[in-house]
Structure 1
Amino acid sequence: MNVVDTAKSLRRAMLDRALPQRFVFHHVPKCGGTSVGRALRKRYLLSQATVVPESSFRAFEAFTGRSDRERMLVDVLDLREQMLLYLMYEDVRCISLHVRFSEVAYDRFRERYKFITILRDPAARFLSHYNWSFDKPNAHARIEEPLEEFLTTDRARQMGASYSEFFSGLPSDADFGSAEAIERAVLNLKKFSAVGRLDDLDGFRAQLRDRLGIRVRIGHENRGGKGRSSLTLSDLAPETKAEIQRICAPDIAVYERAFAGGMDVRA
């Protein structure tokens, strides 16, 4: 065994002692995941990785030469799933990224890795996502329309089905508002070892402690948003709020079923 191989072996042994639990944190946009992801990565400084949304989109854009931005926002998730698999094959212990649930990753790594996520009230998540993305000229995921106009777009309907998109395991051209997508998302979330709620961070920390053996302190990153819109649900006219609830019906179905009677997650 040469010096490099010896060093790699020693590092692996050190990580097995210091950070034995491997996991993937599925970061759904605007669910408090920036705070959670950074807390976990600080705890796992010796072996952690993320995939930056902007950089991965720009890499996808450069490689494909495409300019159909709205569709690329969906298709880039395939690249991020491939990057997730790469990091798992590299045996990175803490992986935190905007990535859909991967049947391939779960089937191949479920004995070594645990899967975790945190969710948020769907209507609040939707509006926070809009606020964050509105009128950011150079951002890959920018939203250009005023809220009432945006609510009529395909992008709005996609955002209202973010949970079924992220957790159903269906291909990117699926109907994520369908009963099948919702059912699959709920079933796949039951494969997770920890599914938290943004309004109960103490409960999520307890899940991480009890089910993964990880103790973390979670701060508040991105709080209040840095977008040019700062709307809250209480600011909206009743009919606008009702339309957001209607658009978010798929996510509401996943959210309510996920937490009804307590999430029966995988230990």
Structure 2
Amino acid sequence: MANYYIVGLSTIIGLTILSLLYDSFDMDMYNCGSTLRNLVVTAPHDTTREFSSKNVTFDIAGKQWKDVIVLVHIQKTGGSNFGRHLKANLMLEKPCVCQRGSKVCNCSRLGSEKEQWLFSEHSVGWACGLHADWTEMINCVPSMLDKFENARQKRRYFYVTMLREPFARFLSEWQHVKRGATWFSSLHMCDGHVPTKKELPLCYKDASWAGVSLDEFLSCPFNLATNRQTRMLADLTKVGCYSSLSDAETKVKMLESAKENLRRFAFFGLTENQVDTQLLFEDTFKLKFMEDFIQRNDTNAASIKQEDLTVEQIQRIYDVNAEDFLLYDYARDLFKERVSAMRARRKRRIPS
């Protein structure tokens, strides 16, 4: 599976060329200082954090800023486990209060029972819809928090997410759907409306797609499992929402939008690198976890051996997820860059 640059190479090279043609924004935004610092200070619905600026620190207590961590939970990326770490594994002066038998906890700030520092399914439920994507969250979170807290607030939003190697993630979603999962209640709200049945038909006729074969899973052109990470991180209003997701030009624009948004995320982790994911989060938010993250390799996707798949199936997985492979390659480099910067900062703090 590590050879995905060889398998499906022609598809990925073609998309890379198109990607460069449409790459009209600044690829060095990550290191841009003054512009992003100004955004952090002035924007009422900011989703950007300037990582090189010592002046930007997550204010969990809400003394100066009403800061909120917003988790974009992409299916089968380890988001549930990461979300549990956020609600129950952080060393906090005021930990989240969880009722027995309930998955939703109250993660309110010190001195308040309503003001939330965490927006995720573990703190406010699926308030913006089941597995809401970036497009849904960016338009939903402020009003939902106003409603939840019964007050209009000027906040800073620190978006976070987890990403996973696309081949394994796709197989994991196939296995999950094969067991009966549908995420049928997801809204897919975009530009003020949900997609029509013509824009987003179902891939199955019964109550679920239970028992679906891999070939069937790969064959449905409307299967949202394909390029899920790219689609869920992109601004879908820039590509006409769900009207033309299969269009080649749309895919390129969607990929570039996902890259741009990922750069602006305060934090993202990689499922395949739990150690650095933990360290990077702790360094970014100046918060510590009580128990270390554990690297798990015994997943459902890992149980599927490459030799159990046909060459055609392997090729098809790479083809239909070409944007996700490109996004993950980009994310992995950006992750390494952020981890290297973190280690350099820590080295400078250590007296010689």
The two structures have a TM-score, normalised by structure 2, of 0.51
Offset of residue 56 of structure 1: 5.7
- Residue 190 of structure 1 aligns to a residue whose secondary structure is helix
* Correspondent of 1:237 among 310, 330, 334: 310
* Correspondent of 1:143 among 206, 209, 228: 209
Q: Please tell me the residue identity of whatever aligns with 2:285.
A: L
* Rounded Cα–Cα distance in structure 1 between residues aligned with 2:252 and 2:135: 23
- Residue 113 of structure 1 aligns to a residue whose secondary structure is strand
User: Does 1:202 find its partner at 2:259?
Assistant: no
Q: Please tell me the residue identity of whatever aligns with 1:27.
A: H
* Rounded Cα–Cα distance in structure 2 between residues aligned with 1:251 and 1:191: 18
Taking the TM superposition and a 5 Å limit, the aligned residue runs for 1:121-132 are 121-132=165-176
Q: Which residue of 2 aligns with 1:162?
A: 228
User: Does 1:84 find its partner at 2:157?
Assistant: no
Q: Please tell me the residue identity of whatever aligns with 1:86.
A: S
* Structure 1 stretches lacking a partner, 5+ long: 1-12, 61-72, 93-107
Q: Please tell me the residue identity of whatever aligns with 1:184.
A: S
Aligned length, in residue pairs:
218
Offset of residue 113 of structure 1: 2.2
- Residue 154 of structure 1 aligns to a residue whose secondary structure is coil
CA deviation profile, 1:196-235 (whole Å, cap 9, x unmatched): 11111111111111111122244689x745x9xx645453
* Rounded Cα–Cα distance in structure 2 between residues aligned with 1:31 and 1:170: 21
CA deviation profile, 1:149-205 (whole Å, cap 9, x unmatched): 22110243x322112211111133152761111011111100012121111111111
Q: Please tell me the residue identity of whatever aligns with 2:171.
A: L
Q: Which residue of 2 aligns with 1:97?
A: none
Q: Which residue of 1 aligns with 2:49?
A: none
Q: Please tell me the residue identity of whatever aligns with 1:165.
A: R
Structure 1 pair 246/134, CA: closer, same or farther in 2 (3 Å)?
same
* Rounded Cα–Cα distance in structure 1 between residues aligned with 2:222 and 2:311: 22
Give yes or no for contact 1:26–1:115 (8 Å, CA) kept in 2. Answer: yes
The two structures have a TM-score, normalised by structure 1, of 0.65
Q: CA RMSD in A?
A: 4.1
Pick 1 or 2: higher relative contact order, CA cutoff 8 A, min separation 6: 1
> Share of identical aligned residues, percent?
19
Give yes or no for contact 1:131–1:231 (8 Å, CA) kept in 2. Answer: no
* Rounded Cα–Cα distance in structure 1 between residues aligned with 2:158 and 2:181: 37
CA deviation profile, 1:120-160 (whole Å, cap 9, x unmatched): 0011101101111214178638434311122110243x322
Structure 1 pair 238/219, CA: closer, same or farther in 2 (3 Å)?
same
Give yes or no for contact 2:75–2:131 (8 Å, CA) kept in 1. Answer: no
Offset of residue 80 of structure 1: 6.1
Give yes or no for contact 1:130–1:143 (8 Å, CA) kept in 2. Answer: no
